[in-house]
């Protein structure tokens, strides 16, 4: 394998993030290889959302570096999207007054993408989530929570990211809809997309991911393969009901 291929697609080194006096991330190292699915689990307040936002280039860390394909991310807004990072944020941040199609199209907004390519990408997203084809003209606020989550994932995919970062995609969704969303994530992963999944539901995260991290109070306390995490005493007692 060449050196370029060995380099992680996304690498966070020594990330420190503070909200005023609150130290939300205390020196976090994390990497996601090309084609890899990696999960971050951890309790409420562990710093998962903060990490998702730093990894997605949305928050600038006080210390540490974020490397994409081995190169640091600059401070320019939208650079993360241009460099192949797609984020699905907690709370989804959709334009709920607009219809589904418009929300999806907004995912291409930064790329100056030709109309025909936008249409092709829309087709791919709608193949992945057929309900969005049926509801393309429906106002997004009237979609169910699960359907809105599909719109949020679809919008991120419209920019053709190399890596998708998801912050608690199962939150508030029924098991059935969660299953549909995770089936789609598994299909994306099969197609070669890298995934960084932030998720409190460890058994669900472990089904999708190759590797994972347990974050607690702003620090990585356990990391390893899913097999290693599944056998770890701390992970077992806190997250797997063992
Ligand atoms: N805007 C903010 N201002 C001040 N403190 C914040 C802010 N956002 C988060 N924090 C604090 O930073 C820490 C990490 O928060 P974060 O939202 O990253 O945790 P989380 O792991 O995503 O939690 P949850 O599981 O509840 O979503 C917490 O102590 C939280 O109170
Ligand atoms: Mg959170």
Q: Which tokens sit at 143? A: 């979609």
Number of structural domains, the chain?
Answer: 1
CB-based contact 137:151 (threshold 8 Å) = no
CB-based contact 52:165 (threshold 8 Å) = yes
Task: Assign 3-class secondary structure to the chain.
Answer: CCHHHHCCCEEEEEEEEEECCEEEEEEEEEEECCCCEEEEECCCCCCHHHHHHHHCCCCCCCEEEEEECCEECCCCCCHHHHCCEEEECCCCCCCCCCEHHHHHHHHHHHHCCCHHHHHHHHHHHHHHCHHHHHCCCCEHHHCCHHHHHHHHHHHHHCCCCCEEEEECCCCCCCHHHHHHHHHHHHHHHHCCCEEEEECCCHHHHHHHCCEEEEEECCEEEEEEEHHHHHHCHHHHHHHCCC
Residue in the structure block whose two tokens are 């205390």: 26
Please state, in angstroms and rounded to a whole number, the distance separating the CA atoms of residues 51 and 33.
17
Neighbours of 31 (CB within 10 A): 18
- Can you give the residue range of the structural domain that contains 226? 3-239
Residue 1 is predicted with a pLDDT of 44
Residue 77 is predicted with a pLDDT of 66
Cβ of 28 closer than 6 Å to ligand 1, yes or no, is: no
Cβ of 22 closer than 6 Å to ligand 1, yes or no, is: yes
Residue 5 is predicted with a pLDDT of 54
Partnered with residue 88 across adjacent β-strands are 166
Which atom belonging to ligand 1 lies closest to the Cα atom of 200?
A: 25
Cβ of 21 closer than 6 Å to ligand 1, yes or no, is: no
Cβ of 24 closer than 6 Å to ligand 1, yes or no, is: yes
Residue nearest to atom 2 of ligand 1 (CA): 19
Q: Which tokens sit at 226? A: 């899913």
Residue 90 is predicted with a pLDDT of 81
Determine the distance from the C-alpha atom of residue 103 to the mean position of all C-alpha atoms in its chain, rounded to a whole number: 18
Q: Pick from 69, 40, 154: which is nearest to 104 by CA?
A: 154
What CATH number does the domain containing 146 carry? 3.40.50.300
Provide the residue-wise pLDDT of the chain in tens; the chain has 242 residues: 444 457 899 999 999 999 999 999 999 999 999 999 999 999 999 999 999 999 999 999 999 999 999 999 886 767 898 899 999 988 778 999 999 999 999 998 776 889 999 999 999 999 999 999 999 999 999 999 999 999 999 999 999 999 999 999 999 899 999 999 999 999 999 999 999 999 999 999 999 999 999 999 999 999 999 999 999 999 998 888 76
Cβ of 217 closer than 6 Å to ligand 1, yes or no, is: no
């Amino acid at each position: 394998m060449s050196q370029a291929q060995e380099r992680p697609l996304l690498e966070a080194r020594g990330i420190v993030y503070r909200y005023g006096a609150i130290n939300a991330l205390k020196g976090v190292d994390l990497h996601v290889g090309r084609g890899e699915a990696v999960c971050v689990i951890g309790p409420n307040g562990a710093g998962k959302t903060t990490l998702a936002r730093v990894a997605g280039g949305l928050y600038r860390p006080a210390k540490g570096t974020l490397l994409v394909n081995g190169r640091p991310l600059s401070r320019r807004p939208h650079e993360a999207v241009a460099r192949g990072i797609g984020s699905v944020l907690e709370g989804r941040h959709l334009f709920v007054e607009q219809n589904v199609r418009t929300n999806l199209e907004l995912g291409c907004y930064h790329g100056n993408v030709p109309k025909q390519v936008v249409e092709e990408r829309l087709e791919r997203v709608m193949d992945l989530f057929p309900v969005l084809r049926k509801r393309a003209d429906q106002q997004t606020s009237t979609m169910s929570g699960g359907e809105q989550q599909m719109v949020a994932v679809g919008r991120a995919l419209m920019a053709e990211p190399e890596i998708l970062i998801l912050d608690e995609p199962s939150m508030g969704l029924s098991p059935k809809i969660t299953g549909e969303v995770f089936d789609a994530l598994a299909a994306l992963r099969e197609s070669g997309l890298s995934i960084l999944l932030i998720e409190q539901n460890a058994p669900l995260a472990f089904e999708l991911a190759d590797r994972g991290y347990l974050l607690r109070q702003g620090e990585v306390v356990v990391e390893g393969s899913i097999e290693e995490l599944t056998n770890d005493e701390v992970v077992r007692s806190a997250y797997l009901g063992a």
